[in-house]
Structure 1
Amino acid sequence: FQGAEKMEYLDMSNNYFDLFPSIALKSLTALKHLNLSSNMISKIEISDISSLSKLEVLDQSRNNIAHLHPGLFTSLKSLRYLDLGVNQLRTIEENALNGLQSLEMLNLQDNNLLSIPATALMSLPRLAALKLDYNRITAIPPELLK
């Protein structure tokens, strides 16, 4: 996307990406909305999204993501909406959501989550909506109920 440095909205959903298209996105530093839903992406690396610091909406739903690296989202301080629904997530590590201080909506529905650590959600001070339906969660950490 050379010459498109001012692009704010990009929808690349319903394609056949199996890797996060980080090289194509590196120059899109003004990007605010990125939709990569309904692809075959299996992982996201910190280096894939580190240049997207102005991103407010990231839709990675309907992919094959099985793991979120600790600190993955630390550069996304403006992110308000994160959709990771319909993936293959089994766990959310304690530090996986660190840095998302502006996050208001988190969709984790229809994954294979067995639990969600309270500490992962406590790092999200503005979280107003959380979707956890269609998972395999059997208990809610007591810390989340306080």
Structure 2
Amino acid sequence: MTNIFTPEKTAELSAQIDRQLQELKTPPYSPTKLPETPPGFPVKQSQAIEEVTKEKPERFLHKFGRAAKSDLCEEGGLLNSQWKKWGDLNNQDVVDKFGVLLVMMGFSGAALEILVVAIAVTVIHIGIKAFCEDYSQ
């Protein structure tokens, strides 16, 4: 597997994913929606996706979902297999896989790091099954 990030950066981004997921579980999380943000989408991550991509989060996630489909949504994909086995994903694998896909989509530098974390948190938060049903077509 191609690694976009150094092991240290991967660990840092993985820790950010864990912190943001914990924030979503800890009261007083307020699931206030942004205009045109689908129900269940985490607000902080939706804002980050929109700021970096200049697109509505839902629209960008459709593009990303199509790119991630083979790893995330299809039988035999690394992340799909992890989810089916454990009901969870290894953050470091998510960072690596999503990082490669986002580089192929043209992102780099700080924008890449922000997007990797925001998309990972969003996908894990809404669940792979829901994400794949709604965003990988």
Compare the two structures and name the one with the higher strand fraction: 1
Compare the two structures and name the one with the higher helix fraction: 2
Q: What TM-score comes out, normalization by structure 2 length?
A: 0.25
Q: What TM-score comes out, normalization by structure 1 length?
A: 0.24
